[in-house]
Structure formats: structure tokens, C-alpha cells
Structure 1
Amino acid sequence: MDRKWWKESVVYQIYPRSFYDSNGDGIGDLNGITEKLDYLKELGVDVIWLSPVYQSPNDDNGYDISDYRAIMKEFGTMEDYDRMLDEAHKRGIRIVMDLVVNHTSDEHKWFIESRKSKDNPYRDYYIWRPAKDGKEPNNWGSCFSGSAWEYDSTTDMYFLHLFSRKQPDLNWDNPKVRREVYDMMNWWLDKGVDGFRMDVISLISKDQTFPDGEPGINGYASFNEPANGPHVHEYLQEMRREVLDGRETLTVGECSGVTLDEAKKYARSDGKELNMVFQFEHMDVDADGTNKWADKKMDLRDLKKILTKWQKGLDTIAWNSLFWENHDQPRSVSRFGNDGEYREMSAKMLATCLHMMQGTPYIYQGEELGMTNVPFKDISDFRDLDSINAWHELVGQGVFTEDEMMKYLRYKSRDNARTPFQWDDTENAGFTTGSPWIMVNPNYKEINAKDQLEREDSVFRYYQKLIRLRKEHEIIVYGSYDLVLPEDRELYVYTRTLKNEKLLIICNFYGNTRIFALPGGWTKKTSKLLIGNYGDLLYARDNRNTVFIRPYEALVLKSL
């Protein structure tokens, strides 16, 4: 058994802009995080993943960085950062930084120089190409709609941006760029940070012949087209040697377009690249083909098939990261659960299903309260560049009507996860004394941390129990996974096994009551309830191995 601290940890993602505002300007900040560290200590998490706090003009809410060694003024100062880091460490909580090095801001000094002339020393820090047949160099599309190429009249050439036009892609084939990145990473690690979540790290190496890709609904090839490029593993192994070797870090790569075979290379157990990756295949179960803007309901059988593929495929070879939510995804209880009558039950069920799998669990801020999607009324309510651009492009081209697009945005927009954390039932959910940078979800009077901390049956207290169980039972971390009933449309049932120990996990993803016969060997006498969101186990009368599974129920049985 290859024991590692990061396998046994639970990570909590903070989106600083929306977590807690300490100075009343309507924007969350570093001092606000420091003030709330005791809340996270009580929850029981081991690691904070901090979304970007670097200096940025905020075209993409901090993922467009203009200075990697400075703090965004809205968030505070470097002294505020150092104090937060120190206070977290005092509580036994590690800090993982968001590393955004596929691209910078166009206001970064490197790019300002790069665009000045073709012979500028910084020119090859970015990817420049001439027009091809009077058009863009190829048909790659931006993640945020439109072409991935932007014409620059200064030198009569195009630069590549897989995201916003204000986020030019770095040229990782230039060894000077790689040295700049490694020096910056070492600077942060020397400061005391405990690792990196690496933004779209699977995109850093591009095929420099720039072939066309398969066009999507807007005529452009997916921004995932260049994923897993020709030198990506070479560069990550170099990063390991130059930065990470000899340090006790957590490294997780956001790997758009990753396949199982590629993930085995990124997160290989020999430690030559990363500890783990984020894969997003299960995030497409409610997509309509290649179109993410849809409100299709998932087929549970598809979800089970995908998650099982990753659980079995990486077992003993690499390590899984486990998540339902992050800053780029809508709220899971609205997406995969029931955000009405069974909101708390389904939030607990989803947590159980995920936290009992093999891998490192990630909790996104507010997920531990069962925070929901937001009833946005108008496009003016949105702040997310992706949502706003998609609205103008797809409505403008007649792909969707305004009503259709608004429906899809309410379901899938990233802003669903970015509204302020709901601390209490006072004005603005206790997030700020000023005007919040984005609307507060109006259900904050019913869903807030203050209420849940006072209730033993709350979603927060349930997450707390799940985290505690993970620390008490090594089978939850290291046990192998096996799926039961792959074709059942309502129940997700699987086992975990470690030596002579066994767990049986039963999760009802729907509002129907089911009569369920426990698999062979599981009976009332041979097992006990480890945790369940109803608090008990309802056996059928006179039958020792048949149980009633109630709406959105989750059960974890442990063999005796």
C-alpha cells in the first residue's frame, strides 16, 4: 500500500472573490479567508485550494495573470497573504495555489514586449503565426466562443488564445518560458505553499503545425483540440526535476480532454509527473453531444460507467481526484440531485457517493451546505465571460432563442458556483456589508452556515462525519472499488475492499422508494451501518437481507 498524505487528505476549494469580504467593498479577500479558517478547521478539511489571487486585470476573474509574484489589490497585500498562510498552517491546514501557466494576461510585461516587434526578445514567449489564405492560421476555437486567434496589426500577425483574447497562450516550446515558470513556482514554494492545482495543464504543449480540428456548433474546433500535445509529459517531468522533487507537495492537473491512458502518464505512481488529475468525462453526462449548453437529464447508467472506468482504470497505477463541483461547474444538488423537497437528503447522498470512492475528495465552497443554482433573471445578472460570450454568439446566430439560452445558463453557467458564500440570514447572506460584486442567491435565508452549524442533522454536519470517517477507516482511502448493478437506472451501488474488510455503498439518485435485496453475504447480522443520510437502516419485516431504500437515501454498510 503506497501511503501518501495527499491521498488521505480532503481538499476545500476557495473562490476568494465570493468567500468572505472583510472590508465592505463587495469583494471577498484574503483577510476574509483568514477570519474564516476556524470554520474550515471545524469542517475538518486538510488542504485549501485557493483560486488565483495574483495581480490581474480580471478579464476572466483572476485566471488572466499580469504578475505572478504580486497579489491582486482587491484581495489585499502580500503581507495579508503571508498572514493567511501562517494562520492556516497553525491550524494544520495546507495551502495549494492555482498555477495558471498555459496563458497570461495580455497586460503581463512579457506580452506587452512580445507584441511590439517580431525581433523583440519576448516575441517567442507567445505563439504568433501569419494569416493562412487570408484567414486565421487554423480553425481552433476559444473556450469562450469564437476563434482562438486574434489579429494584431502592430506586426500583421495572429496570436493564439485558447481562452479570452486577453489571455494569450505561452509558448512552452521556448525553454526561457519554462525557466520563468519554474523559477516562479520555486519562489512560491520557498514562501511556504504546499503545492499547486495546475490550470488546463494538458494544453501547454501544442502541435506547432497547427492542423485544423473537427468544427463544433459555432464552426470552430473545440479548445480541447490541442490537449495532450507532443511534449506535455516531457515538460511535466522537467517541472518535477526542476521544482517538485524533494518537496512534500500536492499537485493536481486540470486536464481538459484527458483520456484514461493519458491520465496514467500524468498521475503515474512513480511520481515523475503529478499526484493526480482532474478528468471531466463525468461532467459531460448531461451534455448534448459536443454542446455543453443543454439541460439534458443524465442517465445514471452513463455516470456509473464513466466513474467506474476511472476507478478501475487508475487503481494501483495512478490516483483519482473526486469532485462534483468547482468554480467552473454548476451546483451539484441542482444538477444531479433534487434542490427542492429533497435538497438536504440529495446533497448528503451525493457527498456519500463521492467521498466513499477511491481518490482525494474536493469540496467546493458552499457544497458542504447544499448551496443551489441561482434564479438569474437576465443576461445582465451574469459576470462570467464564458456565459456572456456564449449568449451573444449563440443567440446572435439564431442557434438558440433568448428564452432557451437563459434556461441553459441557469442550469450550466459557471456563475451558479460563483455567487457569494451564504454565511447567515442577514443582508447579503453575511458575505459583505457593501454591494456584492455578483448577486446573492435569494435562498440564503434558508441555506446558510449559521443555521447548519446549529443543527446536528445539517448537510455541514454530515460532511463533517464523512471527513472524520475517512480519517478513521483506511479502507475508505485505500480500498479497491467494484460496481454492483451497472444497469440499474436509479441506484448507484458499489463495494470497497481492503484485505478482509468490505464496505457496501448504496445511493438512490431519485425520489422513488426501492426494495433492495442486499448482495450475497450481506445481512443484518453480518454488517453494520457506518453512515446514512436518514440516520437508520430500514429492513423489510422478517427478512434479514432486504432493505427499503428511501428517496435520495445513502447507506454505507461495513462488514462485521
Structure 2
Amino acid sequence: MNKKWWKESVVYQIYPRSFKDSNGDGIGDLNGITEKLDYLKELGIDVIWLSPVYQSPNDDNGYDISNYRAIMKEFGTMADYDRLLAEAHRRGIRIVMDLKEMMKYLRCKSRDNARTPFQWDDTENAGFTTGMPWIMVNPNYKEINAKDQLKQEDSVFHYYQKLIRLRKEYEIIVYGSYDLLLPDDRELYIYTRTLGSEQLLVICNFYENTRAFVLPVGWSKENSELLIGNYNDFSRSENTVTVRPYEAIVLKNRFSQIG
């Protein structure tokens, strides 16, 4: 098995302007990222993919870099970056600097709501800044914010935390071979991962219809168990799974020696 650290790593991209403002000027900055490293560590990430912070006239979202040895003033200083790097490394987190044209292209295709300030809590401006944010905060921050997510066991945060933990625990998720089932089905995306004698079955419903899926041979109720799902329960008979709207299920073969 040809193992690579970057294959096994979980990467979290940060658009610094919208992540966390530390000085009240309404613009996210490097010190704001440093302030929230423990949150990212709790989530379980390994790498921060940092959108451009170098000195730039900022005519092209920071990709028009004018000096690779200086930080754009609104984001902080090189000393702030050195501190961020040191604190990230102290937590076992790497930092990759975004200089790729592909990421620029993807960002240009994004809507503005993909860049709105991170919603940290239900205080004014979602806890992003004590000043006037550079772009309007989504008004749903009173109900949807990181502080509330951390308190709820069934939150999106904890679901992704569990996904990350499973990815690190089971090599089959990273290195297992991929085989697509039902390639012509427009609603269900189903595939297996296989590594030696180990096997996982992934079942995803991308539509609002409830579907019944007949399990392949070897995946009966007595031979498999639920590894993770995005509903609080799991509906199945001996050889059939009822897949609800937008449900995602991962089954583990009971006879696989995983973990």
C-alpha cells in the first residue's frame, strides 16, 4: 500500500476575510484564525488551505500577488502569520497557501453567501466582528451558529467530526478500491469500498423520493451493521434498505476485520 500523508489528511479551506476578525475592522484576519485553531482541532482537521493573504492590490481576490514576502495589511503582518503557523503546528495542523488558478475559478463561480462571515455565535454580527462586517452577515445566525452546533449532539458539526474520525480510523475509506453500483440510477448513488477482506457499502439518496434498495449478496441484516448515517434511525428488512429523502448510509460487513 502506497501511503501518503496528503491522501489521509482532512483539509479545511479558510477564506480569511470572512472567518474571524480580531481587531474590530470588520475584516477577518490571521489573528482571528489563530484564535479559532482549537475549534478546528476539535473538528479533527489536519490541514488548513488558506486563501491568499499576501500583499496584493486586491483587484483579483488576492490572487494578483505583488509581494510573496509580505502580508496584506488588512490581514495582519508576517509576524502574525509566523504565530499562526507556529500555533497550528503545535496542534498538529499544517497550512497550505492557496496560489491555484483552479481554486480562483471555483470561487468566482460561488455565490456571495459562500463568503458571508462565519457564524460563531448568536451575539451581534454572529461573533465575527465587533465592528461593521465587510459583507452582510446571514440573518439566520441567531439559529445557526458554531456555538449552538457544539452543544447539540446531532448537529452538522458533530456529524462531520464523526466522519473525520472514521476516515482516520479506517484505512479502507482512503485506500479501498471503489466500485460503483447502479450506474444508471439518477437518484441513488451507491458504491463499495474494498481493502483486502474488508468492505464498506455506501448508499446515498440525492432526491426527495423514498426508495427501496435490495442489498447485494453478503449484505444481509445478519452480515452487516450501520457504521454511520444522517438520520437518527435506520430502516431495513433482512435484505432491503429503505432509503429516505437525502439519506446517507454506510454499512460495514460484520465479517470484515476493520479497526
TM > 0.5: yes
CA–CA separation in structure 1 for the residues paired with 2:234 and 2:186: 22
Give SS of 1:556's match: strand
Q: Which has the larger radius of gyration?
A: 1
Using the aligned pairs only, state the percent identity: 80
1:497 aligns with: 194
Give SS of 2:113's match: helix
CA–CA separation in structure 2 for the residues paired with 1:443 and 1:500: 47
2:215 to 513, 518, 524: 518
1:448 to 142, 145, 148: 145
2:61 aligns with: 61
Q: Is the 8 A contact 1:429 1:444 kept in 2?
A: yes
Deviations 1:24-68 (A, max 9, x none): 000000000000000000000000011011001211221111111
Distance 1:441 1:255, change over 3 A: closer
1:552 is the counterpart of 2:246: yes
1:433 to 124, 127, 130: 130
1:405 aligns with: none
1:459 aligns with: 156
2:257 aligns with: none
Can you give the 5+ residue segments of structure 1 that lack an aligned partner in the other structure?
A: 100-198, 201-253, 257-279, 281-325, 331-412
Alpha-carbon offset, residue 511 of structure 1 = 1.6
1:420 aligns with: 117
1:45 aligns with: 45
Deviations 1:494-529 (A, max 9, x none): 111111111100011112211221122211011111
- Alignment-mate amino acid for residue 85 of structure 2: L
Give SS of 1:511's match: coil
Aligned 1:40-439 pairs, distance under 5 A: 40-99=40-99, 199-200=100-101, 254=102, 327-330=107-110, 413=111, 415-439=112-136
CA–CA separation in structure 1 for the residues paired with 2:137 and 2:67: 30
User: Which has the higher mean CA deviation after the structures are superposed, 87-96 or 544-553?
Assistant: 544-553
User: Which has the higher mean CA deviation after the structures are superposed, 39-48 or 514-523?
Assistant: 514-523
Give SS of 1:7's match: helix
- Alignment-mate amino acid for residue 217 of structure 2: G
Alpha-carbon offset, residue 327 of structure 1 = 3.8
1:18 aligns with: 18
Deviations 1:433-459 (A, max 9, x none): 111111111221221101100001000
Alpha-carbon offset, residue 13 of structure 1 = 0.4
- Alignment-mate amino acid for residue 61 of structure 1: N
Normalised by the length of structure 1, the TM-score is 0.44
CA–CA separation in structure 2 for the residues paired with 1:70 and 1:489: 49
| Larger strand share, 1 or 2 | 2
RMSD: 1.5
Q: Is the 8 A contact 1:329 1:417 kept in 2?
A: no
Alpha-carbon offset, residue 555 of structure 1 = 0.3
CA–CA separation in structure 2 for the residues paired with 1:32 and 1:329: 26
CA–CA separation in structure 2 for the residues paired with 1:14 and 1:511: 31
- Alignment-mate amino acid for residue 450 of structure 1: K
Give SS of 1:495's match: strand
Q: Is the 8 A contact 1:327 1:418 kept in 2?
A: no
CA–CA separation in structure 2 for the residues paired with 1:30 and 1:93: 15
Deviations 1:154-210 (A, max 9, x none): xxxxxxxxxxxxxxxxxxxxxxxxxxxxxxxxxxxxxxxxxxxxx12xxxxxxxxxx
Give SS of 2:166's match: helix
Deviations 1:469-492 (A, max 9, x none): 011100001001011111112111
CA–CA separation in structure 2 for the residues paired with 1:2 and 1:26: 45
CA–CA separation in structure 2 for the residues paired with 1:91 and 1:436: 29
1:527 to 224, 227, 231: 224
Alpha-carbon offset, residue 552 of structure 1 = 0.9
Q: Is the 8 A contact 1:46 1:94 kept in 2?
A: yes
How many residues in Structure 1 have an aligned counterpart in Structure 2?
254
- Alignment-mate amino acid for residue 82 of structure 1: D
Q: Is the 8 A contact 1:15 1:327 kept in 2?
A: no
Instruction: Point out 4+ residue stretches in structure 1 off by more than 2 angstroms.
Output: 326-330
Alpha-carbon offset, residue 18 of structure 1 = 0.4
- Alignment-mate amino acid for residue 497 of structure 1: T
Q: Is the 8 A contact 1:481 1:495 kept in 2?
A: yes
Deviations 1:228-269 (A, max 9, x none): xxxxxxxxxxxxxxxxxxxxxxxxxx399xxxxxxxxxxxxx
CA–CA separation in structure 1 for the residues paired with 2:21 and 2:207: 37
Give SS of 2:249's match: strand
Can you give the 5+ residue segments of structure 2 that lack an aligned partner in the other structure?
A: 255-259
- Alignment-mate amino acid for residue 17 of structure 1: R
- Alignment-mate amino acid for residue 50 of structure 1: L
Normalised by the length of structure 2, the TM-score is 0.94
1:143 aligns with: none
CA–CA separation in structure 1 for the residues paired with 2:10 and 2:180: 23
Give SS of 2:164's match: helix
Distance 1:10 1:18, change over 3 A: same
